[in-house]
């Protein structure tokens, strides 16, 4: 199962890289969102997908699932949610003031 | 009992939240922001004394013993950084009072500054690498807003690039953390250090450390500084100074912490790469500083040069060099803030950014001119001022380790720094004045107070180097012997079994 996950993560990372390298603002932002999903899956996969009991005192005898990756992913999701929201607002405002969503046209003057 | 450690994080966050509700009362906002930063400065000074007396302090949140819970650790290195960050923020706020304008003040400017400082202090104090990521994000999120606040065309354009680069870097940071967790199954920095030294730093761990190196290099502006000159010159001067003093330095702190505590076992790979990066950064930064005629860009490239210079100390990794790095880092936070505030004031007074269009400022504003001269001397490293001791120690360390190339690059960069800053001084401060007495803008009093205070700090750090070195030596003792740090964190939990 982990191997399958790794292939999926690889595909997601390549998609994200492709999107981030494009010139269109929205595609770049979607690329960062896909990348953060890939990373979340990676954290899940390295934590191990084994089935086990809940990690509670009183269940020490049975093998239990590592709960930490879930906590990490939850934090990472919240953070990427906030940054993506901010990015979208910034992109919208930039588009409004500059009149362009193409990064090539947003390079700026050499020494302003 | 060690609850004082968390105050440098809690006080700014709490004040920031309170300030949100005081949007219409600019004077109250100023007072609260200033008072809370003053409190944090005093607390960090008390903390520094406490750490020197009692050794490393830690606070386990929720009573979870390490390595299970998240914890804050105060050793001399981190508390020195917190102290410098708090003092710099205090004076940048003082500068902002008279220059930032109503529009910023009513758009929660002080809240965002305080939140950024909370993130910075959290990054310095945390003992858990995932918590480091979270504190980085808190700091970055506030900085994203501070770059864009004002909403000018150029600000929005640069902020978008700045945010995107940092978002990608954060994802890479998480990838590194995922592999690190997969390999050593822990996120507590002391515990990681212990496990890495137990199992030996195998190629996978070295690879993870290199991914972390890339991430922190991006944040610190080490080699990967292409984003820095663009995004650091667009916000108002007070914000620029805060960025220059704090953001890249957090990256440098993270690099030093990672490669002294967690991954010090394969210096022939990691530290060699760090050395190459440091050298390359210095050369590229110098080229940038020499080629530009925009005062803000010159100052921004000076940040890059100093980041390279500080990391020479980490790359050669003798105790003397590390002491130099810590000392220089402390000095550089204060001096870079002063440089950016001075440069920002030049832009405010003349309305120009290119040095060719400014002239004779020292005739109109003598004190201001001499303050610039003082800051320049400090950044170059002229003896009684603060840059000197750090440069000498890093140089001495590089000689001990036989890294003559880095030594040469480091000291050659001082000349370039001198040249680039002197270029500003000669063409903008000397010469015929272009400002007539009628057009002369008065210098804002609060801003002058902050400039003078920072200059006094620089002179104080230089004159009182002996006292400061005592703390620096204590910090370096921990950096050079990771076991002190590891024992302080993990000692009382070993008996319970891991």
What is chain B's length?
Answer: 498
Q: Give the Cβ contact number of residue B305 at 10 Å.
A: 25
What token pair was written down for A84? Answer: 């993506």
DSSP letters for B264-280: -S-TTTHHHHHHHHHHH
Using the beta-carbon criterion (under 8 Å), do B154 and A25 form an inter-chain contact? no
What token pair was written down for A59? Answer: 């269940």
Band of pLDDT at residue A61, cut at 50, 70 and 90: confident
Q: Which residues of A42-67 are buried (b: 16+ CB within 10 A; e: fewer)?
A: bbbbbbeeeeeeeeeeeeeeeeebee
From chain A, the residues in CB contact with B180 under 8 A are none
* Distance to chain B for A57, nearest Cα, Å: 14
Q: Are B100 and B341 in contact (CB under 8 A)?
A: no
Which segments of chain A does DSSP mark as H helices, in order? Answer: 2-20, 25-46, 68-98
State how far the Cα of A52 lies from the Cα of A49, in Å rounded to an integer. 9
- pLDDT tens track, chain B, 498 positions: 588 999 999 999 999 999 999 988 989 999 999 999 999 999 999 999 999 888 899 998 888 888 888 999 999 999 999 999 999 999 999 999 988 888 888 899 999 999 999 999 999 999 999 999 999 999 999 999 999 998 888 899 899 999 999 999 999 999 999 999 989 989 999 999 999 998 888 889 999 999 999 999 999 999 899 999 888 989 999 999 999 999 999 999 999 999 999 999 888 889 999 999 999 999 999 999 999 889 999 999 999 999 999 999 999 989 999 999 999 999 999 999 999 999 999 999 888 888 888 888 888 888 999 999 999 999 998 888 888 999 999 999 999 998 899 999 999 999 999 999 999 999 888 888 877 777 788 888 889 999 999 999 999 999 998 899 999 999 999 999 999 999 988 886 544 433
For B73, the 3-state DSSP assignment is: strand
Task: Decide if B496 is inside a domain.
Answer: no
pLDDT of residue B492: 67
* Distance to chain A for B208, nearest Cα, Å: 14
From chain B, the residues in CB contact with A25 under 8 A are 160
pLDDT of residue B356: 85
Q: Is A78 on the interface with B (CB under 8 A)?
A: no
Task: Decide if B498 is inside a domain.
Answer: no
pLDDT of residue A110: 57
Q: Is A20 on the interface with B (CB under 8 A)?
A: yes
Using the beta-carbon criterion (under 8 Å), do A83 and B141 form an inter-chain contact? yes
pLDDT of residue B209: 94
Q: Is A57 on the interface with B (CB under 8 A)?
A: no
The answer, yes or no, to whether ipTM is higher than 0.90 is: yes
For A102, the 3-state DSSP assignment is: strand
* Distance to chain A for B16, nearest Cα, Å: 18
> In terms of Cα–Cα distance, which of B283, B238, B299 is closest to B424?
B299
State how far the Cα of B260 lies from the Cα of B478, in Å rounded to an integer. 9
From chain A, the residues in CB contact with B145 under 8 A are 86
Using the beta-carbon criterion (under 8 Å), do B178 and A46 form an inter-chain contact? yes
Domain definitions of chain A by residue range: 2-51+63-98
Which segments of B55-106 does DSSP mark as H helices, in order? Answer: 76-99, 102-106
Q: Which residue of A has its CA nearest to B155?
A: A94
pLDDT of residue A100: 84
* B72 membership: H or E segment, kind and range: strand B71-74
Distances from the Cα of B53 to the Cαs of B43, B210, B330, B334, B476, in angstroms?
15, 36, 21, 26, 16
Q: Which residue of B has its CA nearest to A74?
A: B134
Average pLDDT rounded to a whole number, residues A17-41: 94
Q: Which residues contact A38 (CB under 8 A, 6 or more apart)?
A: A9, A12, A13, A16, B171
pLDDT of residue B495: 42
Q: Is A79 on the interface with B (CB under 8 A)?
A: yes
Task: Find the CB nearest B134 among A75, A90, A93.
Answer: A75
Q: Are B133 and B187 in contact (CB under 8 A)?
A: no
Q: Give the Cβ contact number of residue A14 at 10 Å.
A: 12
pLDDT of residue A108: 72
Q: Are B410 and B342 in contact (CB under 8 A)?
A: no
Task: Decide if B114 is inside a domain.
Answer: yes
For B10, the 3-state DSSP assignment is: helix
* Partners of B57 in beta bridges: B74
Q: Which residue of A has its CA nearest to B183?
A: A46
Task: Decide if B492 is inside a domain.
Answer: no
State how far the Cα of B371 lies from the Cα of B344, in Å rounded to an integer. 13
Band of pLDDT at residue A53, cut at 50, 70 and 90: confident
* Distance to chain B for A19, nearest Cα, Å: 12
pLDDT of residue B498: 36
- In total, how many domains does chain B have? 1
Using the beta-carbon criterion (under 8 Å), do A98 and B157 form an inter-chain contact? yes
Q: Is A41 on the interface with B (CB under 8 A)?
A: no
Q: Are A24 and A101 in contact (CB under 8 A)?
A: yes
Fold of A2-51+63-98: Helix Hairpins (1.10.287)
Q: How many CB pairs under 8 A join A and B?
A: 93
Q: Which of A43, A80, A102 is the mutation pick for testing B, counting most B CBs within 10 A?
A: A43
What token pair was written down for B41? Answer: 């400065």
Task: Decide if B235 is inside a domain.
Answer: yes
Please report where in the chains the tokens 């006292």 appear, as a residue.
B467
Q: Which of B70, B167, B355, B496 is the mutation pick for testing A, counting most A CBs within 10 A?
A: B167
What is the phi/psi pair of residue A96, to 5°? -65, -45
State how far the Cα of B263 lies from the Cα of B208, in Å rounded to an integer. 10
Q: Which of B136, B138, B144, B157 is the mutation pick for testing A, counting most A CBs within 10 A?
A: B157
């Amino acid at each position: 199962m982990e191997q399958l996950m790794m292939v999926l993560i690889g595909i997601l990372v390549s998609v994200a890289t492709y999107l981030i390298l494009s010139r269109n603002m929205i595609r770049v932002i979607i690329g960062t969102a896909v990348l953060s999903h890939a990373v979340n899956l990676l954290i899940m996969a390295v934590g191990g997908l084994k089935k086990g009991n809940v990690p509670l005192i009183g269940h020490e005898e049975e093998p239990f699932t590592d709960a930490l990756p879930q906590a990490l992913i939850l934090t990472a999701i919240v953070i990427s949610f906030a940054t993506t929201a901010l990015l979208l607002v910034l992109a919208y405002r930039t588009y409004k003031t500059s009149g362009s969503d193409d990064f090539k046209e947003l390079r700026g003057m050499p020494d302003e | 009992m060690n609850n004082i450690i968390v105050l440098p994080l809690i006080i700014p966050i709490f004040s920031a939240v309170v300030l949100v509700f005081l949007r219409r009362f600019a004077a109250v906002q100023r007072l609260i922001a200033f008072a809370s930063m003053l409190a944090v400065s005093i607390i960090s000074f008390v903390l520094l004394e406490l750490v020197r007396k009692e050794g490393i302090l830690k606070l386990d949140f929720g009573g979870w013993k390490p390595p299970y819970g998240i914890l804050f650790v105060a050793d001399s290195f981190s508390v020195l950084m917190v102290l410098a960050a708090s003092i710099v923020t205090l004076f940048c706020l003082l500068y902002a009072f008279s220059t930032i304008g109503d529009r910023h003040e009513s758009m929660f400017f002080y809240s965002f500054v305080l939140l950024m400082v909370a993130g910075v202090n959290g990054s310095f104090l945390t003992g858990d690498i995932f918590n480091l990521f979270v504190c980085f994000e808190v700091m970055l999120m506030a900085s994203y807003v501070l770059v864009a606040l004002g909403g000018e065309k150029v600000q929005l354009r640069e902020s978008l690039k700045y945010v995107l680069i940092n978002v990608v870097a954060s994802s890479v940071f998480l990838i590194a953390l995922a592999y690190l967790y997969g390999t050593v199954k822990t996120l507590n920095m002391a515990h990681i250090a212990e496990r890495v030294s137990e199992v030996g730093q195998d190629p996978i761990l070295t690879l993870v450390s290199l991914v972390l190196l890339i991430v922190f290099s991006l944040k610190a502006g080490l080699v990967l500084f292409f984003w820095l000159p663009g995004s650091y010159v667009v916000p108002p001067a007070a914000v620029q100074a805060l960025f220059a003093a704090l953001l890249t330095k957090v990256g440098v702190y993270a690099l030093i912490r990672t490669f002294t505590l967690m991954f010090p076992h394969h210096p022939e790979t990691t530290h060699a790469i760090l050395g190459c990066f440091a050298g390359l950064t210095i050369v590229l930064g110098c080229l940038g500083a020499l080629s530009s005629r925009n005062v803000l860009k010159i100052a921004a490239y000076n940040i890059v040069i100093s980041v390279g210079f500080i990391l020479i100390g980490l790359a050669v990794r003798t105790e003397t060099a590390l002491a130099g790095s810590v000392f220089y880092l402390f000095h550089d936070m204060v001096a870079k803030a002063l440089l950016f505030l001075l440069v920002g004031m030049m832009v405010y007074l003349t309305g120009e950014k290119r040095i060719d269009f400014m002239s004779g400022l020292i005739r109109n504003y003598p004190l201001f001119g001499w303050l610039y001269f003082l800051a320049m001397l400090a950044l170059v490293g002229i003896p009684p001022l603060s840059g000197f001791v750090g440069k000498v120690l890093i140089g001495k360390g590089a000689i001990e380790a036989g890294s003559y190339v880095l030594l040469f690059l480091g000291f050659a960069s001082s000349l370039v720094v001198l040249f680039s800053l002197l270029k500003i001084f000669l063409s903008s401060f000397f010469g015929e004045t272009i400002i007539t007495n009628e057009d002369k803008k008065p210098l804002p009093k609060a801003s002058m107070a902050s400039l003078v205070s920072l200059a006094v700090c620089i002179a104080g750090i230089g004159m009182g180097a002996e006292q400061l070195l005592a703390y620096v030596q204590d910090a370096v003792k921990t950096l050079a012997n990771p076991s002190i740090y590891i024992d302080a964190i993990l000692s009382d939990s070993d008996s319970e079994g891991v």
